[in-house]
Structure 1
Amino acid sequence: MTQPQQITVLGATGSIGLSTLDVIARHPQRYQAFALSGFSRLVELEALCMIHRPRYAVVASVEAARDLQGSLSAAGLGTRVLHGEAGLCEVAAHPEVDAVMAAIVGAAGLKPTLAAVEAGKKVLLANKEALVMSGALFMQAVRRSGAVLLPIDSEHNAIFQCLPGDYSRGLAQVGVRRILLTASGGPFRETPQEQLAAVTPEQACAHPNWSMGRKISVDSASMMNKGLELIEACWLFDAKPAQVQIVIHPQSVIHSLVDYVDGSVLAQLGNPDMRTPISHALAWPERIDSGVSALDLFAIGRLDFQAPDEQRFPCLRLSRQAAEAGGTAPAMLNAANEVAVAAFLERRIRFPEIASIIDDVLNTETAVAVESLETVLAADCRARELAEHWLNRPRRGEA
Structure 2
Amino acid sequence: MSTSRLRQVAILGATGSIGTSALDVIARHPQQMRASVLAAGSNVDALLALCQQHRPDHAAIADPALFSRLRDGLNDAGLATQAHAGHAAIDALAASDHADTVIAAIVGAAGLSSTLAAARAGKRLLLANKESLVLAGELLTREAATAGAEIIPIDSEHNAIFQCLRSRDARLEAGVRRIILTASGGPFRGRSRAELEAVTVAQAVAHPKWSMGPKISVDSATLMNKGLEVIEAHHLFNVPGSRIDVLVHPQSLVHSLVEFIDGSTLAQLGLPDMRTTLAVGLGWPQRIESGVGGLDLLSQGRLDFEAPDMDAFPCLRLAWQAMEAGGSAPAILNAANEVAVSAFLQGRIGFLSIPALVEHTLSTLPYVAADTLDALLAADAQARHITETAIVRLPNV
* 1:163 CA drift (Å): 1.3
Amino acid at match of 1:184: S
Shift of 1:273: 0.3
> Is structure 2 residue 148 aligned with structure 1 residue 141?
no
Distance 1:197 1:56 in 2: 46
> Structure 1 CA distance, aligned partners of 2:165 and 2:322?
25
Q: Give 1:366 shift.
A: 1.3
CA distance in 1, matches of 2:76, 2:214: 33
> Which residue of structure 2 aligns with residue 152 of structure 1?
154
The alignment partner of 2:388 has SS state of helix
* Residue correspondence of structure 1 range 205-244 to structure 2 within 5 A: 205-244=205-244
Matches within 5 A, 1:300-319: 300-319=300-319
Whole-angstrom distance in 2 between the partners of 1:75 and 1:288: 32
Residue 194 of structure 1 and its aligned partner are, at CA, apart by 1.1
Deviations 1:117-162 (A, max 9, x none): 0000000000011111001111110111000000001000000111
Q: Deviating runs (4+, > 3 A) in structure 1?
A: none
1:341-399 Cα distance to aligned partner (Å, 9 max, x none): 0000001000010000100000001111112110110010000000011011152x79x
> Which residue of structure 2 aligns with residue 337 of structure 1?
337
Contact 1:11 1:36 in 2 (8 A): yes
Decide whether the 8 Å contact of 1:164 with 1:174 is kept in 2. no
Q: 2:279 aligned with 1:279, yes or no?
A: yes
Deviates more, 1:78-87 or 1:304-313: 78-87
Query: Who is 1:22 aligned against?
Result: 24
Q: Secondary structure at the match of 2:197?
A: helix
Q: CA deviation at 1:57?
A: 0.8
| One-letter amino acid matched to 1:153 | D
Deviations 1:281-313 (A, max 9, x none): 100001100000111011001000000010011
Contact 2:57 2:82 in 1 (8 A): yes
Task: Pick from 107, 117, 121 the counterpart of residue 115 of structure 1.
Answer: 117
Q: Is 1:132 aligned with 2:121?
A: no
Match of 1:194 in 2: 194
Question: How far 1:103 sits from its partner (Å)?
Answer: 0.2
Summarize the alignment of residues 1-399 of structure 1 with structure 2, pairs less than 5 Å apart.
2-165=4-167, 168=169, 171-393=171-393, 395=395
Give the Å deviation of 1:60: 2.5
Output one character per residue of 1:159-207: Cα deviation in whole Å (capped at 9) or x when no partner.
Answer: 0111154x63x52102211111000000000223212110111100000
> Deviation at 1:65?
1.2
> Which residue type is aligned with residue 234 of structure 2?
C
How many angstroms apart in 2 are the aligned matches of 1:251 and 1:79? 42
Is the 8 Å Cα contact of residues 154 and 255 (structure 1) preserved in structure 2?
A: yes
Residues 308-361 of structure 1 show CA distances to partners (whole Å, capped at 9, x for unaligned) of 010011000000000000000000100000000000000100001000010000
Amino acid paired to 2:85: H
Secondary structure at 2:138 match in 1 = helix
CA distance in 2, matches of 1:272, 1:216: 15
- Distance (whole Å) between structure 2 residues aligned to residue 366 and residue 260 of structure 1: 38
- In structure 2, runs of 5+ residues without a counterpart are none
User: 2:306 is aligned with what amino acid?
Assistant: Q
- Post-superposition Cα deviations, 1:253-281, rounded to whole Å, max 9, x if no partner, equal 00000011211110000000000000001
Instruction: Give the Cα–Cα distance (whole angstroms) in 1 for the partners of residues 373 and 212 of structure 2.
Output: 29
Amino acid at match of 2:114: P
Distance, in Å, in 1 between the alignment partners of 2:143 and 2:57 is 27
Task: Output the CA distance in 1 between the equivalents of 2:319 and 2:394.
Answer: 27
SS of equivalent residue, structure 2 residue 36: strand
Cα shift readout 1:2-56 (whole Å, capped 9, x = no counterpart): 2311100000000000000000000011111111111122211110000001111
What is the TM-score when the length of structure 2 is the normalising length? 0.98
Q: Matched residues in 2 for 1:235 and 1:224: separation?
A: 17
Deviates most, 34-43 or 328-337: 34-43
Moved more, 259-268 or 331-340: 259-268
SS of alignment partner, residue 142 of structure 2: helix
* Alignment coverage as a number of residue pairs: 395
- TM-score w.r.t. structure 1 length? 0.97
Cα 1:11–1:268 change in 2 (3 A) is same
3-state SS in 2 of match to 1:198:
coil
CA–CA separation in structure 1 for the residues paired with 2:346 and 2:42: 17
CA RMSD, 1 decimal: 1.2
Q: Tell me, which stretches of 5 or more residues in structure 1 are unaligned?
A: none
Moved more, 314-323 or 255-264: 255-264
Change beyond 3 A, Cα 1:282–1:226: same
Change (3 A) 1:394 1:278: closer
CA distance in 2, matches of 1:61, 1:154: 30
Aligned partners of 2:68 and 2:324: how far apart in 1?
46
Return the letter of the residue paired with 1:118.
Answer: R
